[in-house]
Amino acid sequence: MARVKLIDPNSDPAFAELAANIRGARRGAFINIYKTLLQCPPLCGAWFDFNNAVRWQTELNGRLREIIIIRIGHLNGSEYTLRQHVGALAEAEGLGAEACAALKSWRGADHFSEKERAALAFADAMTEDIDVPD
C-alpha cells in the first residue's frame, strides 16, 4: 500500500499532456511511481525525462541495464523496483529468473560475464560506499 496518496492522472485536465506523454512511452501504462510524483507535476515530468534518458539513451545494453537496476533494487531494499523489473522487463532483455535471483548475492553466481561482474562491483561500491575505487 502506498504511503503517499496516488494521484489519478485523469483527475485534472492540467495533467492531460504529461499523462499522454508517460502513457505513450509506457505502452499505455501509468504506473504508481508517476501517480505518486503527480503530487508535483513539474517533478513528475522531470523524473520521467531523466528516467527515460538513463534507461534508453545510454550505451548500456538492455541486459546490463536490468542487471544494474535489479542489483541496486536489492541493495536499497526496494521491493517496488524488484516487482517492476524482475520478470517481464528483465526477461525481455535476456535475464531469466535464475539470474535475477542470483543478483541478491551475485559474487558466487556463475550467471554473469566479466563485464557484468565489473559493472556489478561498480554498482555495489557506488551504492554502498559512494566512493568508487579504481
Provide the pLDDT for residue 61: 92
Provide the pLDDT for residue 52: 87
Provide the pLDDT for residue 2: 63
Which residue ranges of the chain lie beneath pLDDT 50? none
Angle between helices 62-75 and 114-128 (to 10 degrees): 30
Provide the pLDDT for residue 109: 95
Provide the pLDDT for residue 19: 93
CA–CA distances in Å: residue 93 to residues 46, 60, 64, 67: 26, 12, 9, 10
Confirm if 2 and 31 have CB atoms less than 8 A apart: no
Cα–Cα distance between 101 and 108 in angstroms, integer? 12
Entry pTM: 0.81
Provide the pLDDT for residue 134: 81
Cα–Cα distance between 76 and 71 in angstroms, integer? 9
Cα–Cα distance between 111 and 107 in angstroms, integer? 10
Closest CA to 38 of 13, 1, 17, 8: 8
Provide the pLDDT for residue 127: 94
- Under 8 Å CB-to-CB from 9, ≥6 apart: which residues? 15, 18, 19, 22, 30, 34, 35, 38
Whole-angstrom Cα Rg for the chain:
17
Cα–Cα distance between 85 and 134 in angstroms, integer? 29
